[in-house]
């Protein structure tokens, strides 16, 4: 990896408070290089979702600087739109439109926001559905699919906007156990294809297998940032050790 490359994501001393006064992100410093795969873990309420929601401007912050491929968030609507074009996001809940078919779910944004013709958008959608191995379900409605299939559709939908970064917020937490693997396999394949990705997950075997780095968050801080072998075998903080003893 080229250490001098412009980071894909760069936090510099980012601080965020909610209106309640909660100091939810504390002095976040983080650089993610193109092609890096980062897993974020930590106890519930530690700020993981807030951290990744900042990256595509779903959450504002009060202090510090955050750039996505050199574009500074907080520089107005144009910068925000430019950042969002580069960042795909997949949530725990799939958020598919139930009244649209799988294919229509995928072509909606590329035609309305991306300016593609219907034919172009459909071609692109089918290619992404093939990538997540669900092309045969294109004319079904989301609720006719299993949870694992719906989540793969949600991943394909994000990919249709051709992001340079994919953010996943606990993508398998809402799934029945037998469907977790099919979704993690798809994310692992994206990682292998060189996609830059940040994934909040408690699937530690997955983290060990695919992550370049694991971040451990606690009370709004990144307490650890280490390669998986180091993080899992020799966590530096007592809090991470305690967390690991409960999730593994």
Contact residues toward ligand ADP (CB under 6 A) are 18, 20, 22, 24, 42, 44-50
107 scored as a contact of Mg ion (CB under 5 A): no
The smaller minimum CB distance to Mg ion, of residues 47 and 110, is found at 47
Q: Residue 151: which of Mg ion, ligand ADP, none does it interact with, CB under 5 to 8 A by kind?
A: none
How many CB atoms neighbour CB 23 within 10 A?
15
Find the DSSP H helices in 113-215: 118-131, 147-159, 177-192, 204-210
Closest approach of Mg ion to the CB of residue 171, in Å: 11
Q: Residue 245: which of ligand ADP, Mg ion, none does it interact with, CB under 5 to 8 A by kind?
A: none
Q: Is the dihedral of CA 196, 200, 206, 209 positive or negative?
A: positive
Please count the residues of this chain forming the interface with Mg ion, following the rule CB under 5 A: 1
Is the Cβ–Cβ distance between 196 and 35 less than 8 Å? yes
Q: Measured between alpha carbons, how far is 97 from 165 in angstroms, rounded to an integer? A: 23
The smaller minimum CB distance to Mg ion, of residues 106 and 240, is found at 240
Is the Cβ–Cβ distance between 159 and 128 less than 8 Å? yes
The smaller minimum CB distance to ligand ADP, of residues 44 and 193, is found at 44
The smaller minimum CB distance to Mg ion, of residues 49 and 67, is found at 49
Q: Residue 44: which of Mg ion, ligand ADP, none does it interact with, CB under 5 to 8 A by kind?
A: ligand ADP
Half-sphere exposure of 242 (CA within 13 A, CB side): 7
49 scored as a contact of Mg ion (CB under 5 A): yes
Q: Which positions touch Mg ion (CB under 5 A)?
A: 49
């Amino acid at each position: 990896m080229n250490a001098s490359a412009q980071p894909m994501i760069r936090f510099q001393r980012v601080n965020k408070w909610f209106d309640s006064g909660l100091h939810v992100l504390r002095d976040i410093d983080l650089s993610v290089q193109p092609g890096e795969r980062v897993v974020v873990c930590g106890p519930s309420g530690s700020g993981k979702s807030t951290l990744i929601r900042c990256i595509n401007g779903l959450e504002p912050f009060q202090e510090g600087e955050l750039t996505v491929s050199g574009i500074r968030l907080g520089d107005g609507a144009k910068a925000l739109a430019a950042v969002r074009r580069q960042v795909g996001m997949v949530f725990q809940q799939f958020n598919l439109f139930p009244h649209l078919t799988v294919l229509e779910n995928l072509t909606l944004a590329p035609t309305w926001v991306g300016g593609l013709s219907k034919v172009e958008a459909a071609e692109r959608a089918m290619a992404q559905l093939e990538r997540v191995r669900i092309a045969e379900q294109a004319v079904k409605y989301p609720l006719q699919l299993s949870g694992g299939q719906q989540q793969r559709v949600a991943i394909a939908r994000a990919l249709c906007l051709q992001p340079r970064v994919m953010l996943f917020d606990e993508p398998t937490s809402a799934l029945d156990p037998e469907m977790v693997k099919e979704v993690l396999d798809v994310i692992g394949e994206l990682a292998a294809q060189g996609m830059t990705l940040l994934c909040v997950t408690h699937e530690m075997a997955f983290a060990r297998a695919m992550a370049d780095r694991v971040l451990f968050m606690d009370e709004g801080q990144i307490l650890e940032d280490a390669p998986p072998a180091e993080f899992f075998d020799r966590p530096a903080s007592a809090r991470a050790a305690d967390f690991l003893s409960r999730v593994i």
